[in-house]
Amino acid sequence: MASHLLYNIEETVAMILFGIGFTMLLLHRNLIKKIMGMNVMDTAVYLFLAAKGYIQGRMVPIVTDGIQEASAYMNPVPSGLVLTGIVVSVSTTALMLALTIRLYERYHSLDLDEIFMQVKKEERS
């Protein structure tokens, strides 16, 4: 069992990172750390995809010296997915950071619990 984990070291690390990122996004109170958690989570998925797409001993899928058969190259789709995923996660990160800035300007805190407390207080008054 342990040897399997070692053999698939990239996938193991990716899953551990995913767990760390997910937990950070879910449980951390600091908004910036939450966003970092989100990025760790997304990056873990990209690592997983990249590790799965790579095939030992094959070439980058760019035809330069006339070799046509597919077995000479590794799978290009996961790399494409990683690129798309990066674009998506950049835009969500930007949106979250922009929201964080607005929240900080308004409540002078990055602590989510504190922000919600202030929101409640605002509501009552």
Question: What is the binding site for another protein (CB under 8 A)?
Answer: 18, 21-22, 25-26, 31, 34, 38, 41-42, 44-45, 48-49, 52, 77-78, 81, 84-85, 88, 91-92, 95-96, 99-100, 102-103, 106, 112, 115-116, 119, 122-123
Is the Cβ of residue 72 or residue 90 nearer to another protein in the bound state? 90
Interatomic CA distance for residues 113 and 101, integer angstroms: 16
Is the Cβ of residue 65 or residue 123 nearer to another protein in the bound state? 123
The end-to-end CA distance of the chain, in Å, is 59
Shortest Cβ 36–another protein spacing (Å): 12
Shortest Cβ 27–another protein spacing (Å): 11
CB 74 within 8 A of CB 60: yes
Would you give the DSSP letter of residue 10? H
CB 110 within 8 A of CB 30: yes
